[in-house]
Amino acid sequence: MSTPTMPRIHVSLAGHEIKYDDPEPNVERFIKRAQALADNPKSKPDDLVTLIYGSENPILDHTLFPERGAVTREVLENPVYHLLCDLLARKQVAASGGSSEQLGKRYTLTVAEAAEQACVTKDAIRKAINSRRLPSWVRDGQYYLDPKTLAALGFGSRLPFESEPFEFEVGYDAVTNTGMRIKTPDGEFPKSQNDPLYDDTCERWRRVAVRCSSPTGIRVFVLEPGKKKAKLPHHHFSVVGKFDIVEKHNSDKAARLFWKAFKAS
């Protein structure tokens, strides 16, 4: 009866433990080669990029692009790939003259603070971290997150029940210089900023944003599924359905930046 082997552990620049089983000999040789290149003070980050994403990397998919390899879903699930990415990250930091401490300074939110800010559970934040959807930094055994990354991710579904379809009438009124736009998983509507009226129904959704413009500026509202029917009106435009307004951005500059970064889900 064979004795089970303990997984190898590589600690990343951000403090995460990357666990992986004993690799095949060709993969083992490639890891050592990448490590040697990363440690070589005469090499550059681009040298490591060429190696990691080149035809010699045995963990990449070489059926699509034999000359350089491709990162598929299967590759993304391979911890060795994340080990190699960490070697590259360390090389880039060293080349820039920076340090891991400087890089980690922007990660200031605890899991509890991030959950409260995003209106989700702490477990939802942890799951996003574990699935690598949400970058994090580990200090003293605790996860910390970047507030800007959290906002840009459009993190959501704060409520435990499924969404229902909602209706929207959006567009632009040239007479009053007012308008309403919406970002849904199906896209941004209206497709042209000059469309006078566009009406449709969003069937499946978790988190959408609505932009209301007027001569004085813009406001952005973030909607998530709710229990009660609601209406978000703006002049003769509106969004109607079962939703809650979970976030508002009233400052014109902040609203524009948030709208540009927001991704519906």
So where are the chain's domains?
8-100, 106-152, 166-261
Percentage of residues of the chain with pLDDT beyond 70:
93
What tokens were used for 111?
Answer: 């899991």
pLDDT tens digits, 128-162: 888 777 889 999 999 999 888 776 665 554 433 45
- Is the pLDDT at 240 greater than 90? The verdict is yes
pLDDT of residue 68: 75
Tell me how far apart the alpha carbons of residues 16 and 220 are, in angstroms, rounded to a whole number: 35
Tell me how far apart the alpha carbons of residues 116 and 110 are, in angstroms, rounded to a whole number: 10
Angstrom CA distances, 174 to 71, 188, 218, 220, 256, stand at 47, 20, 15, 20, 20
Percentage of residues of the chain with pLDDT beyond 90:
45
- Is the pLDDT at 67 greater than 80? The verdict is no
Place of tokens 């070589």: 40
| Residue of higher predicted confidence among 13 and 5 | 13
Instruction: Quickly state the pLDDT bin for 81 (edges 50, 70, 90).
Output: very high
Tell me how far apart the alpha carbons of residues 179 and 175 are, in angstroms, rounded to a whole number: 10
pLDDT of residue 162: 58
Stretch 181-187: mean pLDDT? 92
Instruction: Quickly state the pLDDT bin for 5 (edges 50, 70, 90).
Output: low
Strands of the 109-110 sheet, one edge to the other: 109-110, 142-145, 137-139
Q: Quote the mean pLDDT of the chain.
A: 86
For 43-46, the CB contacts below 8 A with 24+ separation are: 43/91, 44/95, 45/88, 45/91, 45/92, 45/95
For 180, other C-beta atoms within 10 Å of its C-beta total: 26
Tell me how far apart the alpha carbons of residues 8 and 60 are, in angstroms, rounded to a whole number: 20
Stretch 85-91: mean pLDDT? 91
